[in-house]
A and B are shown apart, each in its own frame.
Chain A
Amino acid sequence: SQTIHQWPATLVQPVGSPLSLECTVEGTSNPNLYWYRQAAGRGLQLLFYSVGIGQISSEVPQNLSASRPQDRQFILSSKKLLLSDSGFYLCAWSLGVNEQFFGPGTRLTVL
């Protein structure tokens, strides 16, 4: 069966510091991968999606970036965090354009 991992689970970072969140999927090949952010009391905002290695589409212009160095690995990065980057970051996978399955998430607090 497929499983999706995210780490770290929680993170507290100062403004202006860098960020690297990692997501890996097991048990499937060539998945579509997604990064979402959920701010407190708000809906899911799609940040990036990828249909293959090195292929990244950005949904919202911001100070975040994403990379997919391997088929089942998706990384979310920032060079300098802003207060507004705080939120619950969720990685998801799907096979084709179909239902998406979410990882456990990373709760990021920027102080």
Chain B
Amino acid sequence: QKEVEQNSGPLSVPEGAIASLNCTYSDRGSQSFFWYRQYSGKSPELIMSIYSNGDKEDGRFTAQLNKASQYVSLLIRDSQPSDSATYLCAVLTGFQKLVFGTGTRLLVSP
């Protein structure tokens, strides 16, 4: 079992729709969770951090964490073509190691 798992996609959504990106992790001792956005050919950019169960909203982005289910998600409301990118989930494990998923590619069509 991979430490951090994401569906590779692509996830295709029309402009204006809600994009839902999911991530599961294996280490129950994990405490911190991050979402990065990576445009093609560019480096990852941190867009959200979440540390406690529930929702955290920042503009059009909402991160959701459920530690009991070992599940973290990212919702993007009113998706724009400029949101088309690969989204990486990262988990700080109980061993204080940041582990990245392989990413989900999101395509937002005009």
A contact set with B: CB distance below 8 Å: 42-44, 46, 90, 97-105, 107
Contacts and interface: CB of A to CB of B under 8 A. Distances in A.
Given A43-B100, A43-B101, A44-B100, A97 B43 contact: no
B34 A97 contact: no
A105 B43 contact: yes
Contact of B43 (A42, A98, A99, A104): A104
Given A90-B43, A101-B46, A105-B42, 16 more contacts: A42-B102, A43-B100, A43-B102, A44-B88, A44-B100, A46-B98, A90-B44, A98-B92, A99-B32, A99-B46, A100-B46, A100-B98, A102-B36, A102-B44, A102-B45, A105-B43
Nearest to A90: B43
B12 interface: no
14 contacts: A42-B102, A43-B100, A43-B101, A43-B103, A44-B100, A46-B97, A97-B92, A98-B92, A99-B32, A99-B34, A100-B90, A101-B46, A104-B42, A107-B41
Question: 3 closest pairs, A vs B, by CB?
Answer: A43-B102, A102-B43, A44-B100
B85 to A, nearest CB: 14
B70 interface: no
Nearest to B48: A99
Interface residues of B, number: 20
Contacts of B32: 98-99
Contacts of A107: 41
B22 interface: no
Contacts of B44: 44, 90, 102
